[in-house]
Amino acid sequence: LIFNNASVTARDLFNSMLELSIWTGSYKYLGSGNIYKGYLFFPKTDTLDIQGFYRLRGTGVSANVRLWEDKFRIKLHLYNNTNFILPTDTFAKLNFFSFDNEIGLYLDYLYLELFYGFTKDIMYPNKNTDLEYGRGKIGFTFWVGNKDIEFFTTIGIPDLDKETFSQVSTGGRNLFDSLYLIAELKFNLYITKNIISFLTTPALYNEVAKTTQSDFNVNYKLLISSPDKLMNGGTHINFTYHIMSDATQSWNFTVAPYFSIVLSGVEWFLSTGYDFSKVLEAQTKANDLISLEGLHIIFGVTSNF
């Protein structure tokens, strides 16, 4: 059993368009992807939690101002940032604080959103770390579409700090390593839904340094639905290339057919996938057992009350 989040929201304060929320846990994700996110796409990344550009995790307060018939919104977040905490680390629990801001225009067939923020070690400042002057982040989200076709993208840099500027200016690091970029094209064709996605994640993601830098992901998802939508199935096809990776195998190619059915309000989901890069790795290392590591089976049950 894992605690995820809890929040309390007061709406229309003082007869205005102001909302105020007090929350703890994983509250939301800046620049969250529509489709290309979560455990089904990234089953081995529970710590990195790939859901969007940046995870707001900790304890804080958020204000949301809605103007122009809810088409223009300003969101402010002030919180104790616990993204820095690892399972063996308790020192950072009350040390880091963040202020993030979202400004967006949300129309029927288009929305634009700018978000930015700043993080600093407040309680125990350390001049010998990357956060000597704090760490900034900035990103932009764009969506356009209708019921049959839509396009979504988010681009941003989450680690604007002393170390990043130093490494880039001296040529020791490529700015691409700090880039978060996702693009999703979704379209309907007869009884099928098709999603083409592209994602690259930065070397520092949700304040956790990755062991492989700048993963480059291309994904295709085919969904075939029955008229009553009680049964559907399809396949995922994913290609991942680990840029600047020191690993023996720098790429992965996975094909994963899946099927789901709804019975008595409960959705049952089954996906069986295989990573074909494990075949080449098994041949390279002369170990046939490695090829079995490419098999992934995901079974899930979902119910709404």
Count of beta carbons in the 10 Å neighbourhood of residue 41:
20
Q: What is the pLDDT of residues 233-289, one digit of tens each?
A: 999 898 888 765 555 667 889 999 999 998 888 889 999 999 998 998 888 888 888
The pLDDT assigned to 296 comes to: 86
Give me 258's structure tokens. 């899946």
The domain limits of the chain are 1-173, 228-234+243-305
Find out whether 97 and 71 touch, Cβ atoms under 8 Å.
no
**Distance, C-alpha 176 to centroid of its chain:** 18
pLDDT band at 100 (very low <50, low <70, confident <90, very high): very high
Per the model's pLDDT, the better-predicted residue between 73 and 93 turns out to be: 73
Per the model's pLDDT, the better-predicted residue between 238 and 77 turns out to be: 77
Q: Indicate whether 48 pLDDT > 70.
A: no
pLDDT band at 9 (very low <50, low <70, confident <90, very high): very high
The pLDDT assigned to 49 comes to: 61
Q: Does residue 284 sit in helix, strand or coil?
A: helix
The pLDDT assigned to 243 comes to: 67
DSSP string for 168-218: HHHTSS-GGGG-EEEEEEEEEETTEEEEEEEEE--SEETTEE-SS-SEEEE
Give me 211's structure tokens. 């062991």
The pLDDT assigned to 40 comes to: 47
Q: What is the pLDDT of residues 145-165, one digit of tens each?
A: 998 999 999 999 999 999 889
